[in-house]
Amino acid sequence: MKTRISILGATGYGGGELLRRLLFHPAVTISHATSRQHADTPVAKVHRNLHGWTDLPFSNPSTDELLQSSDIIFGALPHGASATTLAPFIAAGKTVIDLSGDFRLRCADAYHTWYRQPHPHPNLLSRATYGLPELNANALAQADLIASPGCFATAINLALLPAAQRGLLQDTPQVVAMTGSSGSGASPSAGTHHPERAQTLRPYKVLAHQHTPEILQCAQDAGSPLAGLAFTPVSAPLVRGILAVVTATLTRPLDDSELVGTYRQAYTPFPHVLVLNDREPEVGPIAGTCSVELRPRLHNPTTLHVLCAIDNLVKGGAGQAVQAMNLRLGLPLQTGLQQPAPWP
């Protein structure tokens, strides 16, 4: 029998990407794709790429209906609203995978500081497992509340993780990361509407992005507590993708062979993470996929430089949530996610 899935808040880009993956996943069936505004509207009227692929309508079921018809609940809801909506399903013992930031941080005070609102259910934070498979694969196989990582955090964490796991990081890494317009969601604003960004590169939330504490928490969990993170996000004139440029101070000198070997060994169990040595990472070759392109190198023996490219909606969003689900179900990590990117 297939696992029954419901997606709460399925009209946004994250929800659409979940639908694109889960409609054709061999081990699951979708019970509900929820939307109050679009209830009874065919999913394909909102996510037009799914026209001809599904007759599923959006629905607005009660909590009791969802509990009865779902084994796993995906939350694709805004920060703050997500924790409140998901709390009854967590209490009922359902497996919950949240794509918002509501369960990523273990400290309620840090959430208040970075998300500028009190956490609605701080008692639940300790129950969450951070959904980065490359860090927590074993824990995710047993987790009932999974906090899917943020898109910037995914790229930056993957750039630093092998070094962090060896206790090689210190001080305050410097990061500049460029992102596509889809990362800002389906509702345009003056700062995120694509025509407003198509002819420019615009830094925003400089040294103040909410993914900062998530990245520091991950580095600490991996074995390298950091003093801070100097992170500059940049709004870029593309729809999908993140390219992160990361520079970090090492605790001891390395040579090129040891550095590359460290990264290759760390990602051997994760063949979707490509450690390059013959070209630079790009967004195009991984757009629409869960693949990651990385290139670590040394600026000098104690300065690490890493480039990392991901698709913000797939590895940085819905695809990574599907990876976590696969681990929870005892399936191969990439089930339902294996395809090349379109090119060009």
- What are 105-136's pLDDT values in tens digits? 999 999 999 999 999 999 999 999 999 999 99
d(CA 75, CA 14) in angstroms, rounded, equals: 10
Q: Where are the domains of the chain?
A: 3-149+317-328, 151-310
pLDDT at 199: 86
pLDDT at 192: 67
pLDDT at 344: 76
26, with CB counted inside 10 A (0-12, 13-18, 19+), is exposed
Please, what CATH class does the domain formed by 3-149+317-328 belong to?
alpha beta
**Could you count the other beta carbons within 10 Å of the beta carbon of residue 189?**
9
Mean pLDDT calculated for residue range 174-178: 98
Residue 124 tokens, joined? 């639940």
3-149+317-328 and 151-310, same CATH topology: no
Enter the pTM of the model.
0.96
Catalytically active residues are 151
pLDDT surpassing 90 at residue 235? yes
Closest CA to 114 of 31, 249, 231: 231
Cα torsion through 210, 213, 214, 220, rounded to 10? 170
- 250 within 8 A of 162, measured Cβ to Cβ: no
Local structure of 281: helix, strand or coil: coil
74-87, pLDDT tens digit by residue? 999 999 999 999 99
Closest CA to 118 of 105, 108, 107, 126: 108
- 97 within 8 A of 73, measured Cβ to Cβ: yes
pLDDT surpassing 70 at residue 8? yes
19-52, pLDDT tens digit by residue? 999 999 999 999 999 999 999 999 999 999 999 9
pLDDT at 191: 63
Looking at per-residue pLDDT, the higher value among 183 and 323 belongs to 323
Provide the CATH topology of domain 151-310.
Answer: Dihydrodipicolinate Reductase; domain 2 (3.30.360)
